[in-house]
Structure 1
Amino acid sequence: MIDPAFRGKGLGRALSTECVARAKRDGAPAIALHTSPIMTVALPMYLRMGFLKAHDVPPIFGVPYAVYTKAL
């Protein structure tokens, strides 16, 4: 989660892009994350980055979550 004072500056995208780059560098065939619809900025960003919903996972404290993957 990005501190509210720093939101909208591209930090989440930069961090996510770096994670993808490191996974590629390390020869990973894919990268995965879990997120929730309550992440109203992050989830659309991950979808724009090419992550696809793989499957739902059990809720955490009643909040729905799913795993998203991106082939590298």
Structure 2
Amino acid sequence: MELRRPARTELDAAGRLCVAAYEDFFTGAEDFYRDRVADVALRDREAEVWVAADGTTLLGCVTFCPPGSPWRELARDATEGEFRMLSVHPDVRGRGVGQALAALCEARAREHGATRMVLSSLPTMAAAHRVYARLGYTRCPHRDWDPVPGVHLIAFTKELT
């Protein structure tokens, strides 16, 4: 498995991968978040998109949100790193793809001087929560939040050493 930035020609495929990974969490065909998840090209312009690939096959995708990125939601300042929309294709779950992408984001955060990572997740994303726990993330309930009415996100944090 190779971790790298996606080629311009892979952005649409990365978007489809993200939608497939999130499919069980959308509220229906008209869920506003579906288009946001699919728009990897926009995230790549405004943040850093990274993919896990096996040759030309995309396995996973994540958005690292460096300081100054409009994609940062929880990170309060440059001492906190953040990633979003960690997505692993359903056919390759359980192979360490999510863990590798999360660890890559931690390394990127350290490069930017961060000493802590923060992220948020839907309460129903139990598989992702298990990945975060294996990586040393803990719940941070006082930073839970509601981005829009009817959507509650739970926060996780990890000290970077």
Same fold at TM > 0.5: yes
Which TM-score tier does this pair reach, normalised by the shorter chain?
0.7 to 0.9
Name the residue aligned to 2:108.
Answer: 22
TM-score for both structures, normalised by structure 2 = 0.40
Instruction: Report if the CA contact (8 A) 1:36-1:43 is conserved.
Output: no
Q: 1:1-72 alignment to 2 at 5 Å?
A: 1-54=87-140, 55-58=143-146, 62-72=150-160
Q: Structure 2: give runs of 5+ residues left out of the alignment.
A: 1-86
Q: Relative contact order (alpha carbons < 8 A, sep ≥ 6): 1 or 2 greater? A: 1
Separation in 1, partners of 2:99, 2:119 = 14
- Identical residues among aligned pairs (%): 38
Please give the TM-score of this superposition, normalised by the length of structure 1: 0.79
CA RMSD of aligned residues (A): 1.9
Number of aligned residue pairs: 72
